[in-house]
Copies of this chain bind each other. A is one copy, B any other.
Amino acid sequence: MKKRTTCNECGNDNCLITQGCFGEWLDKISANLEQCWYKKGSYIFQEGEPIYGIYILAHGGIKVVTTSIHGREQIVRLVKEGQIMGYSGEGKIHYQFNSVALVDSKVCFVDKEVFEQICMNNPKFAYNLICFYGLELQRAEMRVKYLAQMSTREKVAMAFLYHYEIYGINQSTKMLKIPLTRQELADIAGTTAEQVTRQLSEFERKKLIARNKRDIKILQIKGLKAIIKDYNNE
């Protein structure tokens, strides 16, 4: 087991905790935090399990995914470092989704009651969280729109850009930081792996991307965005 870090030591600038909680509260949270490392492919939580608290992704990458209709999977969200997952207010008491590590990941867990206390006593944290949820909700609503109405080509481009926005690229190689399989891209786009392959071949022919074995390099972000007529980033 690797070494445990406190919130003060963590150094993750994007963490909602360290951005919104200060002083003694940081110590209190650190004392009540559980940290776990998950190997690539392992589950953080699964559909149907009771909800005991929230998870914060400290390091790595995670997909939130549903075991799904007609045997297919659907990735409903990609989680970025510092973001929260698995909490849903007081209404639901069981997870509706699975959460799977895309790469080896470090995750912090906060108990439900502690979480409520943090919200009630750290207004800055609560406000930041409200903003985060607001944005995430908008993103989800945009995805509702996209999935409902786009052609396969647009959806694949969209999945690609979504992945790029969340995890970014390795500056030196220009390759996507966290590689996804064709099937995983299809699970984001809401289509099949075959269609993803076809569209990627198409994109390569148009010099928008380059493929080296299984790795993908983005050549023209603008070209990809142009595929989706009304894509907006702002």
Residues of A participating in the B interface, judged by any CB pair closer than 8 Å:
64, 66, 68-70, 72, 74, 76-77, 87-94, 96-97, 116, 119-121, 123-124, 126-127, 129-138, 140-150, 154, 190, 229-230, 232, 234
Chain B residues positioned under 8 Å from A142 (CB to CB): 76, 96
Among A66, A132, A137, the one with the most B-chain Cβ atoms within 10 Å of its Cβ is: A137
Contact partner of A144 (CB less than 8 A), chosen from B89, B144, B150, B232, is B144
Residue of B nearest to A116 (CB): B127
Assess whether B134 is in contact with A76, with CB atoms less than 8 Å apart.
no
The A contact surface, by secondary structure, is: helix
Assess whether A143 is in contact with B144, with CB atoms less than 8 Å apart.
yes
Assess whether A149 is in contact with B74, with CB atoms less than 8 Å apart.
yes
Q: How far is the CB of A106 from chain B (nearest CB, A)?
A: 23
Once A126-B123, A141-B64, A229-B69 are accepted as A-B contacts, the answer to whether A135 and B74 lie under 8 Å apart by CB is no
Assess whether A70 is in contact with B149, with CB atoms less than 8 Å apart.
yes
Copies of this chain, tallied across the complex: 2
Contact partner of A150 (CB less than 8 A), chosen from B69, B124, B136, is B69
Chain B residues positioned under 8 Å from A121 (CB to CB): 123
| 6 A-B pairs with the lowest CB-CB distances in the bound complex, closest first | A89-B131, A148-B190, A133-B133, A140-B140, A126-B126, A89-B134
Chain B residues positioned under 8 Å from A133 (CB to CB): 89, 130, 133-134, 137
Chain B residues positioned under 8 Å from A120 (CB to CB): 123-124, 126-127
A140–B143 Cα gap in the complex (Å)? Answer: 9
Residue of B nearest to A71 (CB): B149
